[in-house]
């Protein structure tokens, strides 16, 4: 069994809450460290176990992630919880190894144009970063999982259409470079269920027994439909953010991630137990409203509530 399979067993669905990273990239005001810690603790109490909490970037550039190491420490103190954070360069990878984070995410763009805009490096150089990060992880006192996330996998807001075969090629290159797991991201919400199903099937064939993740945005209202297609195609790791926060500063037109609460409900009603109690998860939204009163929050379930006649497992 691979290291990734031990952490993300294919026998169940694993949901990654990415609001503390992706959800805070574009906000005008962000929560206090205490507010973020309460966000994590309450979500953990509801059953959430995977948290993506920031990027290893200078605080002068991304002040919303200045407390990243403190949040990694908060998660380390919660039973069964795992932290993840992005490393976009060699310094970030070094910082990640020293932080004790459980999972390091390296980004490889599906197009050269987005790679240059997002990280100011070629895709080949981004894969080299995956390789060097995996080598560092292998020698770290606490070995983190290394994920290679293929951004713009379903279409690029800068370059246009993306050939699925190119996404598979990049994913294979990342695995060969030492990544424990790959992920595919609809960074700007371009695609529909058919595209998601087909690419997930192709990535599933590449990965075999090793799990892969799917990161979706709801820019055009297709997020939940696309998540259902991913599940039907065999994906078992999905990203979402509480309240649908999110966006990419280098992806014009990108809006929020799939609403995490709606994603939980989708999984449960499709027969995939998540281990998450929705009634206990809803109050986390109140922290966001208090800490970021000017940020809009989304979610069909938050608006309509749980149906009285429907029960679900958690």
pTM of the predicted model, to two decimals? 0.95
Rounded average pLDDT over 152-168:
95
pLDDT at 249 over 70: no
What does the pLDDT look like over 84-139, one tens digit per residue? 999 999 999 999 999 999 999 999 999 999 999 888 999 999 999 999 999 999 99
d(CA 58, CA 66): 8
pLDDT at 146 over 60: yes
Confidence label for 157 from pLDDT (cuts 50, 70 and 90): confident
d(CA 79, CA 93): 25
Residues across the chain = 314
Rounded average pLDDT over 225-254:
86
- The separation between CA 2 and the C-alpha centre of its own chain, rounded to angstroms, equals 20
Instruction: Report the chain's mean pLDDT, rounded to a whole number.
Output: 94
Residue 305's closest CA among 251, 265, 271?
265
pLDDT at 180 over 60: yes
Positions marked catalytic: 248
Asked if residue 210 lies in contact with residue 178, where contact means CB atoms within 8 angstroms, the answer is: no
Confidence label for 237 from pLDDT (cuts 50, 70 and 90): very high
- Token pair for residue 219? 């820019």
pLDDT at 247 over 90: no
Rounded average pLDDT over 29-41:
97
pLDDT at 252 over 80: no
- Token pair for residue 118? 């997002």
- The secondary element (H helix, E strand) that includes residue 59 is none
Confidence label for 181 from pLDDT (cuts 50, 70 and 90): very high
d(CA 309, CA 282): 19
What does the pLDDT look like over 205-223, one tens digit per residue? 999 999 999 999 998 899 9
- Give just the sign of the alpha carbon dihedral 250, 154, 189, 56: negative
Who wins on pLDDT, 174 or 220?
Answer: 174
Residue 180's closest CA among 141, 234, 235, 143?
143
**Strand locations in the chain, DSSP E?**
14-17, 50-55, 82-86, 103-109, 145-151, 181-186, 212-216, 237-240
**Alpha carbon separation from 62 to 149, 195, 214, 274, 295 (Å, rounded):** 20, 33, 25, 32, 18
Q: Which domains does the chain have, with CATH numbers?
A: 13-304 (3.20.20.70)
- The separation between CA 154 and the C-alpha centre of its own chain, rounded to angstroms, equals 16
Confidence label for 5 from pLDDT (cuts 50, 70 and 90): very high
């Amino acid at each position: 069994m691979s290291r990734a399979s031990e952490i993300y067993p294919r026998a169940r669905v694993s949901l990654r809450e990415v609001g503390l990273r992706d959800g805070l990239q574009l906000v005008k005001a962000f929560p206090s460290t205490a507010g973020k810690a309460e966000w994590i603790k309450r979500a953990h109490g509801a059953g959430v176990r995977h948290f993506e909490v920031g990027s290893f970037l200078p605080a002068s550039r991304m002040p919303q992630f200045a407390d990243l190491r403190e949040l990694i420490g908060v998660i380390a103190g919660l039973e069964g919880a795992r932290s993840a954070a992005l490393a976009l360069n060699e310094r970030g990878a070094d910082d990640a190894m020293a932080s004790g984070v459980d999972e390091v995410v390296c980004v490889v763009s599906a197009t050269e144009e987005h790679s240059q805009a997002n990280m100011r490096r070629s895709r080949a150089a981004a894969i080299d970063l995956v390789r060097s990060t995996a080598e560092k992880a292998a020698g770290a006192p606490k070995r983190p999982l290394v994920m290679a996330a293929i951004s713009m996998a379903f279409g690029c807001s800068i370059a246009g259409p993306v050939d699925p075969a190119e996404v598979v090629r990049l994913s294979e290159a990342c695995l060969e470079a030492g990544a424990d797991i790959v992920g595919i991201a609809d960074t700007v919400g371009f695609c529909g269920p058919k595209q998601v199903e087909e690419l997930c099937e192709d990535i599933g064939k590449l990965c075999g027994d090793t799990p892969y993740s799917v990161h979706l945005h709801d820019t055009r209202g297709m997020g939940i439909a696309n998540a259902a297609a991913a599940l039907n195609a065999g994906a078992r790791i999905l990203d979402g953010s509480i309240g649908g926060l999110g966006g990419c500063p280098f992806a014009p037109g990108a809006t929020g991630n799939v609403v995490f609460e709606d994603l939980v409900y989708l999984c449960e009603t499709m027969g995939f137990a998540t281990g998450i109690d929705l009634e206990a998860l809803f109050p986390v939204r109140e922290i966001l409203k208090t800490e970021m009163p000017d940020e809009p929050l989304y979610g069909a379930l938050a608006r309509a509530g749980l149906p009285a006649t429907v029960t679900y497992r958690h």
